[in-house]
Structure 1
Amino acid sequence: MSAPPNPTAAPAYPWYFQPLNWFLVGLASLPLAVLYGIARLLYWLMAYVLRYRRQVVMENLRNSFPEKSGAQIDQIANDFYWHFAQVMVEILKLRTLSAAEMRQRVVIENPEVLARLFAENRQVLTLGSHTGNWEWILPSGAVLFPGLVTGVYKPLMNPFFEAFLLELRTHLGAKLLPMKSTLRDLLRHRGQGRALSMLSDQAAGPEDQPYWTNFLHQDTPFYTGADKLAAQFGCAAVYVTIRRVRRGYYRISLTELHDGQTMLPPQEHQLTEAFARLLERDIQASPSDYLWSHRRWKHKREVRS
């Protein structure tokens, strides 16, 4: 019997991308202290020169925080650009970061939540979003639980960046799984204690049959994959919060949403609603740490007469 295809194998890319690869790996080899100097430049360019997606950022913030003044919204926007610049260089640093340094920089406060579910041979959906440094969640989990953490991701069209990000994300032992292979993977590993790490955002379109709820003062469509997978495969579910303690250091906390032992009717969307409320809490607690530069409210609910 032939071996199954390896979804994390880096695809080939044209030779002319190789200088870019050398350049990025060289940058990633620099100390974080130096990379934060580069982040200062990135912040200045995004916030004041390029004004990167400024209109989208400001619209999202005004609609999400109608109680805040114009000056407060401006401050959150500027803080977001500084946060985003730091995250960009921290993500790049993943390419050369050691497991020992990852353990120092990211502390999981209550790993026993996952350890118990793994001991019960539960497949666990870990649900996070683009808050804090979202790219450090998967590798920190892989360092703490070797061989038990897989990230679900959407492959990129560009072959170089697909290969580079695959290498970056799996550098510390995490596995990656293309989104379209999720069902097959859950079937193959049924009855095995492991985690599937999923980043979700409220940008589901009509074709996704989203769950609508009030989120940050707006009618918002959420993806409902967690509800469906938990019902179909008896998965447990855990919400993941990552917060910056200081520059380059984070703390992760885990909130168990479902133990996998009882059936949750997927049509009631209990997991998605719980996820929305916890994410809303985290954003309100630290507004600048969320990724505001995407059009997360571009879809509107259809009003039927």
Structure 2
Amino acid sequence: MSQSAAPAYPWYFRPLDWLLVGISTLPLTVLYGLARLLYWLMAYVVRYRRRVVLQNLRNSFPEKSAVEIDQIARGFYWHFAQVVVEILKLRTISAAEIRRRAVIENPEVIERFLAENRQVLALGSHAGNWEWILTTGALVFPGRAGGVYKPLTNPFFEAFMLKLRSRMGAEMVPMLSTLRNLIRNRGRGRVLSLLSDQAAGPEDHPYWTNFLHQDTPFYTGADKLAAQLHCAAVFVGIRRVRRGYYRITLTELHDGQTTLPPEEHQLTEAFARLLERDMRATPPDYLWSHRRWKHKREATSHKSQASS
């Protein structure tokens, strides 16, 4: 089954489940108060991945001063604290409230493909509130939205996150089952969300491109899937309008009909450019604690890609 059943977890995790569900029932105004505390702990006490955050920001924005980098870092921690409580709120939030708080401005970009019974790859990133995007998509495109995810090793958090993500009807597809899932649903209009900004390693044979002043590897799955299965593809951008409210914008990358040679990585390159644009526009709203640039291109790989 592509829709993974929530795994069982040891009984001693139940009190944690009750606690998290109880916190989730609190109004968002109260949860944002908790986010203030979480922000203070991450930014000034624990200093959560501060070295990674600052290094990522310095490398990505070499034109900015130390003061500006520090301001962005503090903005990131506040953004991340809000996202944490907003994700937790998904466990109990109503469909009406999520519809009001996260709006897809141009759903017709995807609706056109669904009407033609085409599969759509929705390429997103760890910007804004990425979990609210999937939930919103499940409500806007009922019965036709799914998300690719990497299973967690902890059985409790795996079960908790699966339930949280699928509450509004999203189909959850384990990452290694992506191709099988798309083949099985061929000829059925649906949209499958992929977070395409993960840190691809050498074993993934990534596509390397200059991204925010850095040599950066990207997964090439979208290029291959679009070429092999004639999937359409869209870029999913998200912008916080104000606290707890988001606007999601779709940009067509590929109609699924024209031929895109996968070895040219046109989809991945277009995704990288749009993501770079959005990150420059609102720097604090990206997951800078993610070790996005932990892999370095090998010399042989560099020569091989340059010659191709």
> Which TM class, normalised by the smaller chain length?
over 0.9
How far apart in 2 are the matches of 1:202 and 1:63? 18
Code of the aligned partner of 1:191: G
Matches within 5 A, 1:52-131: 52-131=48-127
Q: Deviations over 1:100-150 (max 9, x none)?
A: 111100111100001101011110000000000011000001011100001
How far 1:8 moved relative to its partner? 2.8
2:151 to 151, 155, 161: 155
Answer yes or no: is 1:281 the counterpart of 2:277.
yes
Do 1:202 and 1:297's aligned partners in 2 also have CA atoms closer than 8 Å? no
Using the TM superposition, give the Cα deviation of residue 7 of structure 1 relative to its aligned residue in structure 2, in angstroms.
2.8
1:32 counterpart residue number? 28
1:19 aligns with 2:41: no
Once the two structures are superposed, the pairs formed by residues 75-224 of structure 1 within 5 Å of their partners are 75-224=71-220
Contact 1:224 1:272 in 2 (8 A): yes
Q: Percent identity?
A: 77
User: Unpaired segments of 5 or more residues in structure 1?
Assistant: none
Partner of 1:261: 257
1:202 positional shift: 4.8
**Structure 1 residue aligned with 2:306:** none
Aligned to 1:43: 39
| Number of the residue aligned with 2:296 | 300
1: distance between equivalents of 2:61 and 2:179? 38
Equivalence for 2:227: 231
Q: Does structure 1 conserve the Cα–Cα contact (< 8 Å) formed by 2:146 and 2:192?
A: yes
Name which of structure 1's ranges 22-31 and 180-189 shifts more when overlaid on structure 2. 180-189
Maintained 8 Å contact 2:2/2:173: no
Paired residues in the alignment total: 301
What value does the CA root-mean-square deviation take over the aligned residues?
0.9
2:4 corresponds to 1:8: yes
TM-score by length of 1: 0.97
Q: Which runs of 4+ in 1 moved over 3 A?
A: none
What's the secondary structure of 2:188's corresponding residue? coil
Gaps of 5+ in 2: 304-308
Deviation at 1:52? Answer: 0.3
In 1, distance between residues paired with 2:79 and 2:221? 29
User: In the alignment, what sits opposite 1:243?
Assistant: 239
